[in-house]
Amino acid sequence: MSPDQFKQTFLPLHPKLFRVAYALTGNKDDAEDILQEAYCKLWNKREELTNIINPEAFSVTLIKNLCMDFLRSSKSGRYEDSLDTITIASYNTPDTVLENADEVERVTQLIEQLPENQKRVLKLRGFGDCSMEEIEEITGFSAVNVRTLLSRARKIIKEQYIKLNVYER
C-alpha cells in the first residue's frame, strides 16, 4: 500500500477511532496515545493491509484491542476525566453553574457505579457517539444484548438520580 493510499484509507477514520478510544479509556490523553500507537502499527504493516476488505472494521477492532490491553495494564487511571466535556445549558449565573457542576458530578458517580458492561456500552453510545452496530463490533455483544445493557444502564441511572433528588429535598 502506498503512502497516499494509506492516507486516503486510514486518516479519514481518525475522528471515529478517537471517539471509540475515548469512550473505552475515558481519558483524552490515553485515547490519543492509543490512537497514535494504532496508526504506528497500521503504518508498519501497510504492505499487508492491501487485502483488508473493511479497513474501518479492522481499525476499530485494533483500537478496541489496544484499549483493552491498556485498561488491563497498571498504567490506566480508568475513567478519570470521562465527563469533562459535558456541559449543561444554563444562564451562567454562579449559582446555576455550581448547580450544573453538581448535577454532572452526580451523574458521573452514578455511571461509575454501573456494572462494567453497562458502563462501557453507555459510554460508547453516549460519549463515543457510536452506532449500535459499532458498539456490537467493539464489544462483541449481540444487538439484543447491546440494547438491553443500554436500556438497563439508563434505567438504573434514572432511578438512582431520582432517589438522590428526592433524598436531598
Residue 76's pLDDT band (boundaries 50, 70, 90)?
very low
Residue 80 has pLDDT above 50, yes or no: no
How much of the chain, in percent, has pLDDT values that exceed 70? Answer: 78
CATH class in words for 94-168: mainly alpha
80 vs 167: which has the higher pLDDT? 167
Query: Is the domain defined by 3-72 classed in CATH 1.10.3470?
Result: no
Q: What is the pTM of this model?
A: 0.50
Instruction: Locate the domains of the chain by residue range.
Output: 3-72, 94-168
Q: Which three cell numbers stand for residue 30?
A: 490515553
Instruction: Give the whole-angstrom CA distance, residue 12 versus residue 108.
Output: 31
